Structure 1
Amino acid sequence: MSERDDDRPGRARGATRRKVLGIGGALGLTAATGLSTAAALARHPPFTGDELRSAAPLPPAFQVPLPLPSALAPISTSGGIDRYEITQREAAVEILPGVRTPMWTYGGTFPGPTIESRRGRPVTVRHHNELPVPTVVHLHGGHTPASADGYPTDLVLPEGWPDPARTGRAGHGMSGHGMSGHGMSGHGASGMQGMRDPRAVVTRLTRDYTFPLDQRPALLWYHDHRMDFTAPAIWRGLAGMHIVRDDAEDSLGLPAGRRELPLMIADRVFTAAGALDYPALDPTLRGRPGVRDAYLAGVLGDVILVNGAPWPVHEVDAARYRLRVLNASNARHYELEAVTDNGRRLDLVQVGADQGLLAAPVAHRLLPIAPAERYDVVIDFAGVPVGGRVRVVNRLGSGRTRDVMAFRVAREATDESRVPRVLSRDLPAWRRSDAARVRELSFRAGRMHGGHGWLIDGRPFDPARTDVTVPLGDVEVWRLVADVHHPVHLHLVGFRVLSRGGRPPLPHDAGLKDTVSLRPGESAEIITRFDGYRGRYLFHCHNAEHEDMGMMANLEVV
């Protein structure tokens, strides 16, 4: 298998969809020719997908105040377990100023309410499904038993949905709809919907998810994970944050309280009436999965939302702030930069990754972040004069997608926070020599069921097939190979990045991660220990359209 060690995405602007990915030919060509085609694609703009355009009038940047998601209050804390309830329901949410947008929500808000928890203290969340379709909840980054991990066929059925025991369709309960492929843009294939999953655990109306949270403090997030329909469900609003804390982290002196800001970045598109636009083949999301051909590589929006607000602004003190950044976009990659209005760049001091604190801080001027990745950074506004503004920009964007949000320094303030030289001493020290085995897995476009798809090792997802079996407690090295951009996520475990293209990992690869962003034509090696729980888990691309179109595989821990 050929490799490309030095791919750096190009900076060309304004390329068309067909230049970026050549939809109509490049999917099949990439599968046939391997990484040589993908390496050529890497010379084009550093994203994979096509952008929808909003028909609604859009507000100017940096005028809407930054919302902060509310913390969900437990309904009970007895017995050493914090218990919560969330109702999944339709709601009209103000996203664009003065406009109500119909959304699917956790508890009526977008993002959903934030759950705050302590390391080692279990949490049970009872989800009520009042939406018109089945749902599944996955706690992304959670070290979670398989029964609560949100496997894509472990559905919570809504009122009136057909009994899957009668329909026999992978727990979906689909009722005679004409299926295309597994999200395959109407190519007439049989698709995944007809596949049985004898292990699916299906409930009606409610489900309790219990998370032990015996894991490092970190920013996690929860989102819908229904097979074939994850992408449109997240797009419609089913996403929220979950923060795990512990005493050791609290004692470090990092910025806290109102100087700690969770920031969920997501792109969206709006119709002239202010509704969300998405190129689904079946807008009801009840039967036929997939998107129109132009968006097979991923759906990109032209409105950048932070915590559900378009290009917001937030007033800050002249002090350090801790930004807990999540890329909850379906397919858009960002390269974040903090710059004052006079052009001075501020350091983004990374203190954490997907799975918690780094061993030591790492300073960045530019910070790339792929879908589902999280970065914990400290930014110091002390050198910015009162009244000054700091813009967070996306170096991979153009036009309006180049802006993300802004901070306006409102006042001088005392600041007792600090960024210690040593952040954590509990990071695992896995070595290559510890690995029981090395696996190589390819993530590539290809043909499936007569249509276009996204494959792992040449095969689309099948819930009835075990793809990788790992003994509990084993350390493994996985070598992941990509054709185009693929943010690869492992359920259950965190991992360390060992190399990219045979070279050392990049500075932003530091720490313990659960999602690694593979660039076009790139290979990366990761190492992890599969510990904690036995059962069926997943690994998949977190470009949500790729995931829905087959780029997901089963991991059995035995």
Structure 2
Amino acid sequence: MNRRRFLGLGASVLGAGALAAVTVPAAARLLAEGRPGRLLSSDLALPEPFQVPLPVPAVLQPVRTDGTTDYYEITQQVAKLEILPGVRTEAWTYGGTFPGPTVVTRSGRAAVVKHRNELPVATVVHLHGGHTPADSDGYPIDLLLPVGSSGAGADQGMSGMPGMQHATGNTVTGERTHTYPGNQRAATLWYHDHRMGFTGPAIWRGLAGFHLVHDDEENALPLPKGERDLPLMLADRAFAADGSFHYPATDAALAVPGVTDDYMNGVLGDVILVNGAPWPRLDVDRARYRLRVLNASNARLYRLELDPQPSGGDALVQIGSDGGLLAAPVTHDALEIAPAERFDLVVDFSRYAPGTSVRLVNRFGSGRTAEVMRFDVSSRQVSDDSTVPDKLSAVEALDASAAVATRHFRFRRSRDDGWTINDDPYQPGRDLARPALGSIERWRFSTDLHHPVHVHLNPFQVLTRNGRDPGPYDAGWKDTVDLWPAEVAEVLVRFTDYRGTYLLHCHNLEHEDMAMMADFTVQ
């Protein structure tokens, strides 16, 4: 999209005043690359790609179970990890690893996860995509203070948020228990830090992990399973000369939120990590693999392709989205994935000759960031009884005529270089919507620049994009919709099961930390 077309769309789609908050030079600079963010370069030599085997996060075992519930414990702790070969990096971790351990649960069974904070900072845990009671959702000022903390400074950093007034959440010290009832279908979820003003640096330093939900419907399908069902967490990072994570925080001590001015539209790293490893490789059988792809980057948008493409194209068979299985598979030659989105893909490596090296590339990257990982196709003979059925799931289509309200949410940059929804920076306790439990509403999201929009509590279905049909990556139940500059999307949301206050926000983490969030309360 060129600058002239962007400004034209901005006036016609959003109204003549919609772009007033973004100066023309700033808009031109931000759109010159066509994507959000600014590259932060590492200060040490980077390894050659495809040297490190792909790690797979360990599955967390419950500490106990009963007839209805599985109980887990996770300690948030500092750990020295070898992320770049031969280099030690201090990370903030769940359980001592990055990514954290994978929590695997089953629909219909509750999961109770107790977090213990042994980090030097307060944290908040959010299960992204979780259908969760409000007191376990991870409201951004419900702080978990470090073990041994006196409780002083519970509002650390909040006064520095643009437009913020003093606010107090449900703060506890040492440990907090989150209850996830499991009242949702099979899906690829993830958990991450959500402390107000500091989500970006906390996830950048390692606070992220997978949470997979299974159910009977999914298990009955002949999809790839076991070692051929792989979670892939994509995350770009930059490294300082001493091997530490390099991040352009306004305050190195992370007591005051925000990044330096050059990076307010998002931080992009020059190292692409998959499951915490730089540009890894994986030996694969000539068989189908299920790849659960998560974009856990702060701001980077990827356009993923296989290189070479298999004969006949349709290399990536999408079987699921943020909220679980699609009704039927959708084929792609390339896939665009924004921060926080998940795509469940099946790739058939039997379409390649034995010995072929297949790169997963990022067409939105350049130089080293154009490479993601490599699959090396084995020459050995293997059996594979997996298939991708023409019908995957009975997905209910929400009825637009049943919507009882239409609400508008405008995602814009403010004149004072913050980020706003409906022209206001985030303030806890101020609702932008109060939907009724059990109701369906139509929510309309519009943007000035690029914003991946995330809604807590319930997934939604994309109804229209720019007044037309949904886009090629909008199928199924979503909890994050990717909007390019001057786009408009309408979604249908049904609010079920839980009353309380939840969040709507941009999942560009630098935008989120600089106040592009809003509360809504289900009544």
The TM-score normalised by the length of structure 1 is 0.88
CA distance in 1, matches of 2:2, 2:218: 35
CA distance in 2, matches of 1:159, 1:351: 42
| Counterpart contact for 2:148–2:174, Cα < 8 Å | no
The answer to whether structure 1 residue 454 and structure 2 residue 419 are counterparts is yes
The answer to whether structure 1 residue 330 and structure 2 residue 318 are counterparts is no
The answer to whether structure 1 residue 539 and structure 2 residue 509 are counterparts is no
| Counterpart contact for 2:87–2:243, Cα < 8 Å | yes
CA distance in 1, matches of 2:313, 2:243: 35
CA distance in 1, matches of 2:28, 2:236: 27
Inter-CA distance 30–399: structure 2 relative to 1 (3 Å threshold)? farther
Amino acid at match of 1:276: F
The answer to whether structure 1 residue 65 and structure 2 residue 53 are counterparts is yes
**Aligned 1:507-526 pairs, distance under 5 A:** 507-526=472-491
| Counterpart contact for 1:306–1:312, Cα < 8 Å | yes
The answer to whether structure 1 residue 249 and structure 2 residue 218 are counterparts is yes
CA distance in 2, matches of 1:435, 1:111: 39
| Counterpart contact for 1:56–1:272, Cα < 8 Å | yes
Superposition deviation, residue 412 in structure 1: 2.9
| Counterpart contact for 2:155–2:167, Cα < 8 Å | no
CA distance in 2, matches of 1:120, 1:58: 45
**Aligned 1:177-256 pairs, distance under 5 A:** 180-182=160-162, 192=164, 195-197=166-168, 200-256=169-225
Amino acid at match of 2:499: R
Unaligned runs of 5+ in 2: 5-16
**Aligned 1:260-299 pairs, distance under 5 A:** 260-285=229-254, 287-299=255-267
Q: 1:400 aligns with which of 359, 368, 375?
A: 368
The answer to whether structure 1 residue 307 and structure 2 residue 307 are counterparts is no
| Counterpart contact for 1:501–1:523, Cα < 8 Å | yes
The answer to whether structure 1 residue 477 and structure 2 residue 442 are counterparts is yes
Q: SS in structure 2 opposite 1:32?
A: coil
CA distance in 1, matches of 2:310, 2:135: 53
Show the counterpart of 2:459: 494
| Counterpart contact for 1:41–1:484, Cα < 8 Å | no
| Counterpart contact for 1:341–1:389, Cα < 8 Å | no
Show the counterpart of 2:342: 374
Inter-CA distance 480–39: structure 2 relative to 1 (3 Å threshold)? farther
Show the counterpart of 2:317: 349
Show the counterpart of 2:8: none
The TM-score normalised by the length of structure 2 is 0.94
CA distance in 2, matches of 1:344, 1:51: 35
Show the counterpart of 2:383: 414
Show the counterpart of 1:14: none
Show the counterpart of 1:432: 400
Show the counterpart of 2:155: 172
| Counterpart contact for 1:489–1:541, Cα < 8 Å | yes
| Deviations, residues 207-253 of structure 1 (Å, cap 9, x unaligned) | 00010111010000000000110110000000000000011111110
Q: SS in structure 1 opposite 2:473?
A: helix
| Counterpart contact for 1:118–1:246, Cα < 8 Å | yes
Superposition deviation, residue 8 in structure 1: 8.6
RMSD of the alignment, in Å?
2.2
The answer to whether structure 1 residue 131 and structure 2 residue 119 are counterparts is yes
Q: 1:100 aligns with which of 88, 91, 106?
A: 88
Amino acid at match of 1:195: H
Superposition deviation, residue 354 in structure 1: 0.1
| Deviations, residues 16-68 of structure 1 (Å, cap 9, x unaligned) | xxxxxxxxxxxxx9752679999867863232111100111111111110000
Amino acid at match of 1:247: D
| Counterpart contact for 1:110–1:239, Cα < 8 Å | yes
Inter-CA distance 366–74: structure 2 relative to 1 (3 Å threshold)? same
CA distance in 2, matches of 1:9, 1:500: 21
Inter-CA distance 500–322: structure 2 relative to 1 (3 Å threshold)? same
| Counterpart contact for 2:283–2:375, Cα < 8 Å | yes
Q: SS in structure 2 opposite 1:507?
A: coil
| Counterpart contact for 1:31–1:446, Cα < 8 Å | no
Unaligned runs of 5+ in 1: 1-6, 11-28, 183-190
- The alignment-based identity, stated in percent, is 55
CA distance in 2, matches of 1:537, 1:221: 17
